[in-house]
Amino acid sequence: MSRDWSKLQIVCYPDPVLRKVCRPVEAFDADLAALAERMLELMRAEQGVGLAAPQVGLPLRLFVCNVTGDLKDDMILVNPEIRETFGDAESQEGCLSIPDVTVTVRRAQRCRIVASDLTGRPIEADGADLLARCWQHELDHLNGRLIIDAMSETDRIANRKTLRELERKHKSSRGVVAL
Domains of the chain: 16-170 (3.90.45.10)
Active-site entry in 26, 37, 81, 138: 138
CB atoms within 10 A of CB 170: 15
The pLDDT value recorded for residue 70 is: 96
Give pLDDT tens digits for 80-113: 999 999 999 999 999 999 999 999 999 999 999 9
pLDDT, residue 179, reads: 37
β-pairing, 75-86 vs 89-93, is: unpaired
Where b means 16+ CB within 10 Å and e means fewer, 113-132 reads: bebbebeeeeeeeebeeebb
39-86: pLDDT as tens digits: 999 999 999 999 999 999 999 999 999 999 999 999 999 999 999 999
Q: For residue 1, what pLDDT is reported?
A: 58
- Amino acid at site 10: I
pLDDT at 173: 75
Q: What is the pLDDT of residue 176?
A: 47
For the chain, where are the E strands, in sequence order? 50-52, 62-65, 75-86, 89-93, 103-107, 110-116, 122-128
Q: What is the dihedral of CA 179, 175, 15, 53, to 10 degrees?
A: -10
Residue-level pLDDT at 37: 97
**pLDDT by residue (tens digit) across 146-166?**
999 999 999 999 999 999 999
C-beta of residue 118 within 8 angstroms of C-beta of residue 34: no
At 168, which helix (H) or strand (E)? helix 153-172
Is residue 138 flagged as an active site residue? yes
**Model confidence, pTM:** 0.93
